[in-house]
Structure 1
């Protein structure tokens, strides 16, 4: 037994400790007054747990447990849904006067608000990082798409830790979070099993992710991740990714509300549609049969008339003129017109189908009683409609991304199948221009509203009294995050994970919801993309168009660009250039641009496009870090181009060590990309093959004459380029066990990129098939044994 004095001393010590370690008492009133209320300081994340006093009671039966600490959102915080449609213009949707029926958008606008002066950055990744964080795109180091990142601040492709996503802010304030569809914000060299994963969706604040990582995907055969795991999609007839992602979004939100009905959610629903490839079910395409026979010039006039009738443009708005670089419809041949009509019918069907899938999500929110207290943003485009298809469109959109202009004669045989799995199409620039009515220019042209102005609908019955009205305050995607935070009564954090945060560039739009004539709270906004740049400041815009997306021509020095000036408070469509009339005003705004450019790391201006797909040219990180040899093994699939050795146009070899059980071996040894461009080493009926697929337009296939017997063999391939330049042709040589068995000439190669989402696979060719000699997926599996494959630059 313990001595009596020791017991007495211990008791005294316990009492003393108990009295001096009680929870520090802050004034309840001062705590509740902090932003967000609820007694929590939400300006520093993660929210710290309060200290807990030691319990002095010996027996748990005699003690009472303290209340459990749990971070919950402020009372009444709404759900938040952001729907973002890809590559659709201000003048495409029926809600904003366009020819494409989008009844879900119209329904939400009827009970919500249309914003007709809402802006994006003119390109995919930059708009998305700005939308998801509330910070300008260059501040996020996303001056262009992630695949074009460089070594300069403002363009590195890596979000700084001084910027935290809206998803992470809401998650740490008690929300469930999920993202579905396109996620084009992850640095491409981080898209591999080696990570890091902190800039993937699930490392950026989203509890759940189902979608694709990159700029686009094949809607019929997408490359999908669930979290960070590559998954095979169903191969059932009629599969379409937009439907698949909607099914997953509905399942997630239904389960989330079933299990935690009082917990609000944040959903980012970003469709791959309507970005090229324009893939739509045939029955949706047929709905628009014959509706675009008048051409893009007439469509633009018709759209403009509807826009005025709807009040989405002011009555005194002028329709801007067609630029000389965009051809007139009347100048097209009958053959071209037939092709172009089908292109637009397909795009329209694609867009209406997408809106119908958004409608299924909205219906589920209604069924579960969530829609009234859901702050719902329906953003109709992450930029203006895309002219990346070129003057005549393209059967294979990857050609455009490689700087190759498509020609109608390449496409005429595909008119009847346009939009189905055998095509990877994009429409002609005239349709993009018409889709951006009444503005000048298109996607990528950040200098003009045709590239940056998109329709947006905000819907929140519980929080917004007004409905069915138009709001004309000047706003930008950076304003979405602050709006959501104000609605949830959650402050912008000043500190996250011990790192001081950059103040958001955005301002909340809620001030405008029930005050149609409220003074704009956004008075300044810069724009820049590939040298096209502009500045909005207090009702005026100064801008200069430096380059045109589809014209691969020498560009003038940035310093020689000619600037324009518009009073956009009076000139909604930027139709009246006042630069000559007000030169001092122009100089004033140019100075504002430079100030904003310096603040946001916009400088130096970089006008390069396709060549920046090459990491060595762009100066960004490369996962291989200069290595010229890569050895891969069975089971390594989906290796993206920025996580694989670059073989485009360079002298290289592919050496495969295999073990064959008989002389009938079939299947893929190694393949990169797929049906719309790539290369593959495979076996058919025991014979080794190599095929180079140039954009599904030209194929060069070489093969051994004899089937290989059972046993171990070394199958080698060598490409020797003709010239040291992108796109060069070269000699194609196939060898077995050190003996040449076939040789041919490849006329030309893909210069900068094989695919936006299909990677390199060992032992199989997933998603789509490079060669027509086999079917994709499991049917392409190698029936022998692959020991290893080595790809080496020479």
Structure 2
């Protein structure tokens, strides 16, 4: 028995010795980074009784590869190829230009023609339909490729870097989360913190009021200062700088990844007057002269070939010489404000870059500065807009010249929510014809990009002309760091990256393009690039409705290897090539879930028509309590185009109360049930153009009371009609008002609804944001649709 025990003991020692040797070998072997999170080493059971007699194994830590660079992606919004100084623009971008002089400028880099799709493709390395981001999240449908919900088998570059030992942070615009998931109920799986970002500070919609933004810090809504000098562009730059300094102070050996995505220069064009004053008179010559000047400067700089022709502008864009003096005055002002907004944006971005240099990290930081997520926006229509929400609600007053000229002096300040005329978008997309939304023309998809990494890229101030796409950024980052594409992330097998690394261009300026085929599609505007040729069709203009059914669309053909600006349509000369490319498009469309094509726009803002989930779907009643605020439009019961009532149970205490009981929207459209000096009121704010107010004549009684507002809609099934709002206190009618028109589509892109406070901007002119907080108690508020 003793011999048997001795044998078993010796056998156990041999096994443990072998296991220890195996573990030691495994520790020396390279870490397998294809399965994330990284697995720690296995250690054999410890048989030593006393810790003093045992040697502890090392604690497993996830660390980035040796000498891994920091990575920064800077992504501007709604700025086309002719929008930077480095690409010939008259617009001020000194910090972009400085990076271009010290790095590489790419003059054939492409986006998707719209914001959410570009952003999702950028941070995943997959095509936007693969990411289910056919369009913006607000118009998602239930079709595969268009649901707005990032699949689990597509991990972002942020998650990949985080799980490989990076600190990660995102600042600014995050327009990638499904709108029905942006509420305190979640789910949070597609919020920034759960797709790879340790830190997030920004907004979750397509745009925000830069003076009074709807900001989230990680999962929580935060109130920004009620300060006339506050501006979100400055705020987000400061927050990103503070985070990088903190991260480097605590963990100087740990690399960081920062995704810096301003909401600028997307509408609303909000900017301090000090920036606007610098632009005075710079655009008086008009968009035709400015467009030609940009084009000539592009040739002079060599960012376009010397034999490039300036493509014709769209037929709908008037010549500047045909405009009235009033139109010229207004449109020049719009361009001044847009230019000022870009100036501020580039300045604040420069602060971020300077902070990296001050920390001694610039040389080993890989920076991608992408000047736009699509072409410049023409969504302001032919005349621009005093309030962009008028466009979404088909209100012609918003683009009336005389109405807009009333706001000439304060264009861009907090009293406006402006956009510019489409003629400027065409100019700043020079040398191309089209703009944002037109995925079938480089004016909608080509954006200037600089790559800057002094420690690795030896060339400085050079142009790279290889053809690339936004899906190529993620694989470039992985190659630069020396990381493989992960095979499994968080237990889910991953779909292969669909982009192509651009790293080969760094050392080989004349290397052939390795990205040789790419489809494009947006609202039915569609095209295909294949090895120097481009075929596409403009199905719908940004400012119009579709004119054809899809089979009736006219396709164009360009030999873009020789025709940089897409100026000469070769469809009639080469019908065989066009037919082949059309077949290639259909093949790619099936492969990447592009079909069915969907050209609906405003209709898709209605969840029922779109077929997407909605928090309030089918509900006729919503009860909220004090403290429930910051609810975006998709989180709130839809009171548009219908009769409804609001019943609020409140307690005034022993003195007259003030403040908001419940409100939705803000200065540029919405409604508010509020109290002023004890007197109840209901205000309907129609797009900032007209205020209808029902005001009681006597103060609310002390103590508890029930305040009710009943709105009788008079339009039947017709959207946007008016009605009558009647106020009641304790069952007695106390006031009534006629509301001529209502907003049928959307109150705001980011203004919220809430009980007891009116966040962001005030609906009513009778209170300001700080004075909107209700001074009594609110037991509950019930909104019921009729």
Q: Does 1:257 align with 2:248?
A: yes
Shift of 1:158: 0.3
Q: Does 1:606 align with 2:598?
A: yes
Aligned positions of 1:217-236 closer than 5 A: 217-236=208-227
What residue number does 2:153 align with?
162
Give the Cα separation in 1 of the matches to 2:760 and 2:785. 26
Cα contact 1:687–1:708 (8 A) shared by 2: yes
Aligned positions of 1:120-135 closer than 5 A: 120-135=111-126
Q: Does 1:346 align with 2:337?
A: yes
Q: Does 1:655 align with 2:653?
A: no
Cα contact 1:221–1:768 (8 A) shared by 2: yes
Q: Does 1:527 align with 2:525?
A: no
Find the residue that maps to 2:763 and give its secondary structure: coil
Give the Cα separation in 1 of the matches to 2:392 and 2:482. 43
Aligned positions of 1:540-555 closer than 5 A: 540-551=533-544, 553=545, 555=547
Find the residue that maps to 1:400 and give its secondary structure: helix
Aligned positions of 1:522-601 closer than 5 A: 522-551=515-544, 553=545, 555-601=547-593
Give the Cα separation in 2 of the matches to 1:18 and 1:112. 55
Shift of 1:50: 1.6
Q: Does 1:774 align with 2:774?
A: no
Q: 2:16 aligns with which of 5, 14, 18?
A: 18
Give CA deviations for 1:96-138 in whole Å, capped at 9, x if unaligned: 1001121111110001011011001011100000001000001
RMSD across aligned C-alpha pairs, in angstroms?
1.8
Shift of 1:498: 2.2
Name the TM-score, length of structure 1 as normaliser. 0.96
Shift of 1:252: 0.6
Q: 2:203 aligns with which of 203, 209, 212?
A: 212
What residue number does 1:453 align with?
446
Q: Does 1:143 align with 2:134?
A: yes
What residue number does 1:672 align with?
664
Shift of 1:740: 2.1
Name the TM-score, length of structure 2 as normaliser. 0.97
Give CA deviations for 1:586-627 in whole Å, capped at 9, x if unaligned: 010001111111111111111011121111111100012422
Shift of 1:25: 5.5
Shift of 1:20: 6.5
Q: 1:275 aligns with which of 266, 277, 287?
A: 266
Give the Cα separation in 2 of the matches to 1:781 and 1:432. 41
Give the Cα separation in 1 of the matches to 2:439 and 2:343. 26
Give the Cα separation in 2 of the matches to 1:512 and 1:180. 29
Give the Cα separation in 1 of the matches to 2:22 and 2:730. 78
Q: 1:266 aligns with which of 254, 257, 271?
A: 257
Aligned positions of 1:316-715 closer than 5 A: 316-405=307-396, 406-551=399-544, 553=545, 555-662=547-654, 664-715=656-707
Cα contact 2:752–2:760 (8 A) shared by 1: no
Find the residue that maps to 2:744 and give its secondary structure: coil
Give the Cα separation in 2 of the matches to 1:15 and 1:469. 64
Cα contact 2:646–2:708 (8 A) shared by 1: yes
Shift of 1:721: 2.0
Cα contact 1:93–1:99 (8 A) shared by 2: yes
Shift of 1:549: 1.5
Give CA deviations for 1:161-206 in whole Å, capped at 9, x if unaligned: 1100000000011111000011000111111111111111001100
What residue number does 1:35 align with?
none
Q: Does 1:237 align with 2:216?
A: no
Shift of 1:463: 1.2
Cα contact 2:79–2:265 (8 A) shared by 1: yes
Compare 502-511 and 730-739 and name the one that shifted more: 730-739
Q: Does 1:746 align with 2:739?
A: yes
Cα contact 1:23–1:51 (8 A) shared by 2: no
Cα contact 2:540–2:546 (8 A) shared by 1: no
Find the residue that maps to 1:371 and give its secondary structure: coil
Give the Cα separation in 1 of the matches to 2:75 and 2:741. 38
Give the Cα separation in 2 of the matches to 1:7 and 1:703. 95
Find the residue that maps to 2:711 and give its secondary structure: strand
Give the Cα separation in 2 of the matches to 1:145 and 1:718. 34
Give the Cα separation in 2 of the matches to 1:687 and 1:318. 66
Find the residue that maps to 1:245 and give its secondary structure: helix
Find the residue that maps to 1:411 and give its secondary structure: helix
Compare 542-551 and 554-563 and name the one that shifted more: 554-563
Cα contact 1:388–1:401 (8 A) shared by 2: no
Find the residue that maps to 1:678 and give its secondary structure: strand
Cα contact 1:439–1:450 (8 A) shared by 2: yes
Q: Does 1:195 align with 2:193?
A: no
Shift of 1:236: 3.0
Shift of 1:53: 1.2
Give the Cα separation in 1 of the matches to 2:228 and 2:5. 79
Give the Cα separation in 1 of the matches to 2:2 and 2:692. 96
Shift of 1:726: 2.6
Cα contact 1:116–1:470 (8 A) shared by 2: yes
Give CA deviations for 1:280-338 in whole Å, capped at 9, x if unaligned: 11111111100100100111001101111111111011101121111221121111111
Q: 1:96 aligns with which of 68, 87, 91?
A: 87
Compare 654-663 and 207-216 and name the one that shifted more: 654-663
Cα contact 1:116–1:454 (8 A) shared by 2: yes
Compare 586-595 and 66-75 and name the one that shifted more: 66-75
Cα contact 1:23–1:53 (8 A) shared by 2: no
Q: 2:780 aligns with which of 785, 788, 793?
A: 788
Find the residue that maps to 1:108 and give its secondary structure: helix
Find the residue that maps to 1:432 and give its secondary structure: helix
Give the Cα separation in 1 of the matches to 2:395 and 2:594. 28
Aligned length: 783
Change (3 A) 1:526 1:293: same
Cα contact 1:533–1:544 (8 A) shared by 2: yes
Find the residue that maps to 1:415 and give its secondary structure: coil
Find the residue that maps to 1:348 and give its secondary structure: helix
Shift of 1:147: 0.6
